[in-house]
Structure 1
Amino acid sequence: MRPKQWLKNVLVFAAPGAAGVLDDPSSLWRTVVAFVAFCLAASGIYVWNDLRDIEADRLHPTKRNRPFAAGRVPLGVARATGVALPVASLLLCAATGRWQTVAVVATYLVVTTAYTVRLKEVAVIDLVTVASGFVLRAAAGAVAVDVPMSRWFVLCVTFGSLFIVIGKRYAELNEVGTAAGTRATLETYTPGFLRILLSVSLGGALISYCVWAFETSELDPVGDLELPFYELSVVPMIVALFRYLLVLERGEGSAPEEVFASDRVLQMSGAIWIFVYALAVYTS
């Protein structure tokens, strides 16, 4: 079920947080429900993904330690869990009282199932498909509390997601190369191609975030001062993106969740960004 991967689902809080509605108990509750639902849905997909990739995982230097590949979990139990978790996620979404939330999570399940069955073997399509999962997470938070997502917000999430996903492939290619059975698309990608995609996605993420921040900015009073908090939030965002790029250049990043959980500069940048953006939203 990969609890470390649940960190991705924090994106569910992005749209409600940007809209400044998380201080409302009802909105906070629906957002938390959507977050838990995505954790269940993603975990169910991970189960099916690992079941399908047992033989490939046994050839991978680290994935061979996964429970199914290592033979620590009966396959019957795994299949039952793979069915129960997505069903539970959809039932939980229904508790928000908004069919749109159910629809977004159902779309996520369909897209990620298609990825597990076939799309993960198609170069470029695999990158876009995984990135779409992040966009759907953000959309789930927005529809759960009925707040709009601006076009620049969607672009920022899209390019940021592509940057992370492409970085993961780049790190995997550097780490395990094109060893047979590890990941089909790694035999197609080259370091140079992925470097170009990293540059494009990083530039897109930076530009779209800056436009989003400046478009939504207001000068918020703090004591006798007036500080442009939205604009200031660009600084920790740039630091975080550049820091992650450095991690990739050092040959790391094949497990982004582990990087975020261990890199203190990334954590500090994220904390500062949350603080500054919270000031922008909740002191206006």
Structure 2
Amino acid sequence: MTETAPLTNGARSREAALLEQRAPERTPTPPLKRTPATLLTGLLRTARPKQWIKNLLVVAAPAAAGELFTRPAIPRLAAVFVLFTACAAAVYLVNDARDADADRAHPAKRHRPVAAGQVPVPLAYAVGGLLGVLAPAAAVWLVSPAVAALLTAYLGMQLAYCVSLKRVLVVDLVVVTTGFLMRAVSGGLALGIPLSRWFLITTGFGALFMVSAKRYSEAVQMAGKAGATRALLTEYTTGYLRFVWQLAAGVAVLGYCMWALEEGGLPHTSVLPWRQLSMVAFVLAVLRYAVFADRGAAGEPEDVVLRDRALAVIGLAWLAMYGLAVANW
């Protein structure tokens, strides 16, 4: 067995020169300067403004009951929208602070403000905690104790999800779905509107349809790329997730039809049975969305809804018909 002779100084210098020529040039990353403006921008980005559209679900129950544009409804629903946005932002801040180290190793998540160092971890925890305390407290004064209790339950459930529930099979789907359902229920609580059982079934299973379709799309896109996204996805099979979103879509359609037929049976003076006709648009919207789910392209529900023109047209048609039904025209 022979030993390798130690390199002379000249050999070392030649080897170093060769390595420098072969290695790609790396521009040193300049130190991140934190200013009040960059901190505010980072906090706003962490609050996920793109996700705020989900909080529009607070108008679902009042719209269904025909009380969306009454005098007390507008300020109360605006307050509920802002408070739910604050609670969601609190959860995002705490989640990103908790996952900062793991996010830095992720190709996409490493650009998040907390992971990138734009927002310090202690500041993210502090702002998230402050929002989580202030939002339910403000709800007692601005809306009602019932809405404050709902927001508190939402925060507790979402924080539990961040800590451990997101790693529990099936429970993760239930928690995210329940978050959507809570948004829809909050509008009814704010105005004291009784919630139809069919409304709850349609909203709950409609949310499960979109959540499971998103998970299915992520699972399809990460095939052969373990570790590139949610770790729990490796525990699900695409067949199981497909079964869940197909089941949820079917129940949501059935619930909506029962809801529309139940309400449509009441006396009305409108020219056409708009509520029953809206079933056609609702079913078409579900079928159109299912096209993207089946392709594994429903990763971001808001992108699907906003970018697909056909789905947007169907959605507008549904809104028009349901609006005419509520207005009894």
- The verdict on a shared fold, with TM-score over 0.5 as the criterion, is yes
Which of 195, 211, 235 is the equivalent residue of 1:188?
235
Any stretches of 5+ residues in structure 2 without a counterpart? Answer: 1-46
Q: TM-score with structure 2 length normalisation?
A: 0.81
Q: What's 2:309 paired with?
A: 264
Which structure would you say has the larger Rg? 2
Superposed CA offset, 1:193-247 (max 9, x none): 111111110101100011011101146445xxx2111111112211221111111
Tell me which residue corresponds to 1:26.
72
Contact 1:173 1:186 in 2 (8 A): yes
When structure 1 is superposed on structure 2, of 84-93 and 36-45 the one drifting more is: 84-93
C-alpha separation between the residues in 1 aligned to 2:170 and 2:231? Answer: 12
Q: 1:162: which partner in 2?
A: 208
After the TM superposition, which parts of structure 1 deviate over 3 Å for at least 4 consecutive aligned residues? 58-61, 218-222
Other-structure match for 2:325: 280
Structure 1 unaligned regions, length at least 5 = none
1:202 aligns with one of 238, 243, 249: 249
Among 134, 141, 148, the alignment partner of 2:187 is: 141
For 2:61 and 2:133, how far apart are their aligned partners in 1? 25
Q: CA RMSD in A?
A: 1.7
Structure 1 contact 15–138 (Cα < 8 Å) conserved: yes
Residue 94 of structure 1 is matched in structure 2 by 140
Contact 2:79 2:143 in 1 (8 A): no
Aligned partner of residue 233 in structure 1, secondary structure: helix
Match of 1:176 among 222, 238, 243: 222
Which whole-Å CA distance do the structure 2 matches of 1:238 and 1:62 have between them? Answer: 35
Output the CA distance in 1 between the equivalents of 2:153 and 2:322.
30
1:2 aligns with 2:48: yes
| Correspondence for 1:67 | 113
Distance 1:248 1:57 in 2: 26
1:114 counterpart = 2:148 = no
Confirm whether residue 211 of structure 1 aligns to residue 258 of structure 2: yes
TM-score (norm 1): 0.93
Identity among equivalent pairs (%): 42
Tell me whether 1:252 sits opposite 2:300 in the alignment. no
Does the 8 Å contact 2:83/2:135 carry over to 1?
Answer: yes
| Higher RCO (CA 8 Å, separation ≥ 6 residues) | 1
Deviation at 1:97, TM superposition (A): 4.2
Q: Number of matched residues?
A: 281
